[in-house]
Structure 1
Amino acid sequence: MSTIARHTPTTGQDVLAEESAAVPKSQAFRYVAAATRLSLGWIFAWAFLDKLLALGFATGRDPETGAVDTFGPAAWINEGSPTLGFLQFGTKGPLADFYQSFAGAAWANWLFMVALAGIGAALMLGICMRIATVSGVALMLMMWSAALWPENNPFMDDHLIYALVLVLLLLGKAGHTFGLGRAWESLHLVQRFPVLK
């Protein structure tokens, strides 16, 4: 004999209660996940700022002399290209020609910089973790595939590790600790469009 299950409508609060049950209970895990989220967010945000302003870390430093030209011609605000150097000179392997074909293109520069800023801001704030994770994983996979094969390992490098960490942070609801994730997810708009979680 079978039973007929009745569908009980759920409210936004019911959904939040169910999802909060999935949040890891260990305080140590939550703190480490939050620190990891903030750290990884800072890596993306700093890459954006360095390329935007040529602050002399990856952008704006003369490789021969080591001199730093802050806010110089390498800065994106001064028409420098944030993608040209890596895509033209840092790519190798089977996809190098593909990536080199759009090195320095305006659309590639904009897409790259918007991704760095958006992923960095989302991670630092703990909001839009789904979009940040998908975008970050896509960016990391593209950067990994642009430099195949890694020098120190047959296939694994830091880009793949960052991609895995992004997924772990999403699944562990790292935006809820030391972030705005819990408040963000309670917004009506976010409940209506869960992709914004």
Structure 2
Amino acid sequence: MVNIANDHQASAPVTTLATTERPDRGARHQAPAPHTAFPVTGRTATAARYLLAGIRLALGWVFLWAFLDKLLGLGRGTPAANAWLDGGSPTAGFLGKAATGPFAGLYHSMAGNVFVDVLFMAALLGIGVALILGIGMRIAAAAGAVLTVLMWTAVLPPESNPFMDDHLIYAAVLILLALLGAGTTWGLGRRWAATPLVRRNTWLT
């Protein structure tokens, strides 16, 4: 498998995303294993790294902007009068009014709860900062996936599709970014992984 997190290109001009061992020549009756290979050149691997880094930064900004808008009431999604710093609730509007479907009653009861507000805002800030800096990608991906899936359950069924919407896509992309080590390009992921704390606790990478 191509390691897109590696900033140094391999000396070989072509690698493969998937390889299988060839059957032993001496085993005449052994059926050949299926072989599916996709050649990836150095330029393609480099382009993929930078594309994933760009997606990581974009998603990080989505989460961080949501936090800032709800905190300060910047007028995009949150009016100034409803800013969290001015006593507004970042969950009252969405959970109290927009939640629909089988879990609407549960979310309506949670709307405006101080603990839920703090947890929601902490998640937005933590996920956004982690993605932008490229650190703690596993935690950020897991937390982001849980948050977006919960938001998906709050709007069931989606307006334009029987079940699929952008929340599920966000969750899948977040997990993919963590699996492919997207924090090492245009980010501090490599330095973060080299710290003694992360070396002792690899789940923090």
Name the TM-score, length of structure 1 as normaliser: 0.82
Is 1:23–2:19 an aligned residue pair?
Answer: no
Is 1:50–2:69 an aligned residue pair?
Answer: yes
| Mapped contact 2:184–2:190 kept (Cα < 8 A) | yes
Q: Aligned partners of 1:122, 1:22: CA distance in 2, in Å?
A: 19
CA displacement 1:121-159 (0-9 Å, x = unmatched): 000000000110110000001000011000111110010
Corresponding residue of 2:21: none
Q: Aligned partners of 2:3, 2:61: CA distance in 1, in Å?
A: 29
Is 1:137–2:145 an aligned residue pair?
Answer: yes
CA displacement 1:8-52 (0-9 Å, x = unmatched): xxxxxxxxxxxx957376000000000000000000000000000
* Structure 1 position 162, deviation (Å): 0.3
Corresponding residue of 2:59: 40
CA RMSD of aligned residues (A): 1.6
Q: Aligned partners of 2:4, 2:56: CA distance in 1, in Å?
A: 18
What secondary structure is seen at the aligned counterpart in 1 of 2:82?
coil
Q: Which structure 1 segments of 5+ residues have no match?
A: 1-19, 61-71
Q: Aligned partners of 2:72, 2:193: CA distance in 1, in Å?
A: 33
- Superposed, 1:60-99 pairs within 5 Å as 60=79, 72-99=80-107
Aligned with residue 187 of structure 2, among 164, 171, 179: 179
Work out the number of aligned pairs and report it. Answer: 168
Q: Aligned partners of 2:104, 2:62: CA distance in 1, in Å?
A: 25
- Superposed, 1:108-187 pairs within 5 Å as 108-187=116-195
Q: Aligned partners of 1:119, 1:183: CA distance in 2, in Å?
A: 19
What secondary structure is seen at the aligned counterpart in 2 of 1:175?
helix
Q: Aligned partners of 1:21, 1:174: CA distance in 2, in Å?
A: 10
What secondary structure is seen at the aligned counterpart in 2 of 1:101?
helix
Q: Aligned partners of 2:135, 2:98: CA distance in 1, in Å?
A: 32
| Mapped contact 2:4–2:49 kept (Cα < 8 A) | no
What secondary structure is seen at the aligned counterpart in 1 of 2:81?
coil
What secondary structure is seen at the aligned counterpart in 2 of 1:131?
helix
| Mapped contact 2:135–2:188 kept (Cα < 8 A) | yes
Percent identical residues: 54
CA displacement 1:89-136 (0-9 Å, x = unmatched): 110000000111110000010000000000000000000001101100
Corresponding residue of 1:67: none
| Mapped contact 2:56–2:132 kept (Cα < 8 A) | yes
